[in-house]
Amino acid sequence: MHQSVLFNEVVEFLRPARGDGTLVDATVGLGGHAEGLLEQYPATRLIAIDRDPRALERSRERLRRFMDRVAFVQGRHEQLIEILRQSGVENASGVLADLGVSSMQLDDASRGFSFRYEAPLDMRMGPDSRSAADLVNTTSEEDLATILREYGEEPRARRIARAIVDARPMDTTVQLAEVVRRAKVGAHSVRPRPHDIDPATLTFQAIRIAANEELVGLDRFVDDAVSVLEDGARIAVISFHSLEDRIVKRALRRLEGECTCPPGLPVCACGAKKIVTVLTHRPVTAPEEEIDRNPRSRSAKLRVAEKVSS
């Protein structure tokens, strides 16, 4: 069962100022945070968005008892404005995005997210994504190296990209993992020891991010979410790797009015204006006991901002 990360913190931060209104869970996943919000704030409605139709099915099941207060929408968080317009909602009393993959997606062997299972090289979060096999088999060596370096922070990016190009076409997770392990640790030591981080981890992360365009539109999502918040309402974003967190941190700083002009300009030309107050100057991270219970929470970073009165 997927355990919602930083559950109490999210539910408390998203307490609606007036107690009612429409909350948006832009990545509802298995509905854990959504359930907490609906339980805790009985006068609210919730719009539950996910790009993965299977996640929506599962959350619909879980949230059945709140059916008259929830609308489910298959889509991407970067379509937020359009989704709200189609739902006839003008303002939100809180917006949540808990980014990345759910444990349901990771643990479903057939979806190809994990190198622990033999499966087709798929990794699509939803029907709008490109398959990992397509990406791995058609991207140039140079672009593959860039993907591995930028999205995986993989120090052996060039070497792995070359090995992938030499070994393709590739159809399965296990084929890709073996090629990466061999490229990283040498032909004679393909199996990691039980507690080592698998050498294929960063490559799989990078290919997943690229195939699903996970970082594309995140900056715009933060802007759009803030634009629909009522005065005093909050946006909360949980990210799981430094690239996502950096985008969220910068977007919130910009919305807090930090001038982004190049140094030396005599007057500000970027139009910086304070639209939010950031409530988490350091991101909130999971306490030790949560990490013990749910190791996935180790890398979670929660950032929250509140819209200022206009």
Which residues sit at the interface with ligand SAM, rule CB under 6 A?
A: 2, 4, 27, 29-33, 49-52, 55, 76-77, 98, 100, 102, 125
Cβ proximity to ligand SAM, 125 vs 163, nearer residue: 125
Task: Tell me the closest approach of the beta carbon of residue 183 to ligand SAM, in angstroms.
Answer: 29
Task: Tell me the closest approach of the beta carbon of residue 50 to ligand SAM, in angstroms.
Answer: 5
Structure token pair of residue 94: 């809180």
The answer for residues whose C-beta is within 8 angstroms of residue 271's C-beta and 6 or more apart is none
Task: Tell me the closest approach of the beta carbon of residue 228 to ligand SAM, in angstroms.
Answer: 16
Cβ proximity to ligand SAM, 6 vs 176, nearer residue: 6
Say which DSSP state 65 is in: G
The answer for residues whose C-beta is within 8 angstroms of residue 237's C-beta and 6 or more apart is 96, 97, 98, 99, 222, 248, 302, 303, 304
Task: Tell me the closest approach of the beta carbon of residue 83 to ligand SAM, in angstroms.
Answer: 10
Cβ proximity to ligand SAM, 106 vs 167, nearer residue: 106
Task: Tell me the closest approach of the beta carbon of residue 218 to ligand SAM, in angstroms.
Answer: 8
Cβ proximity to ligand SAM, 4 vs 173, nearer residue: 4
d(CA 269, CA 177): 49
d(CA 264, CA 120): 53
d(CA 310, CA 293): 42
For residue 42, the SS3 value is: coil
Task: Tell me the closest approach of the beta carbon of residue 161 to ligand SAM, in angstroms.
Answer: 25
Q: Which residues are paired to 98 by β-bridges?
A: 238
Cβ proximity to ligand SAM, 102 vs 175, nearer residue: 102
d(CA 202, CA 274): 37
Closest residue to ligand SAM using C-beta atoms:
29
Say which DSSP state 110 is in: G
Cβ proximity to ligand SAM, 180 vs 302, nearer residue: 302
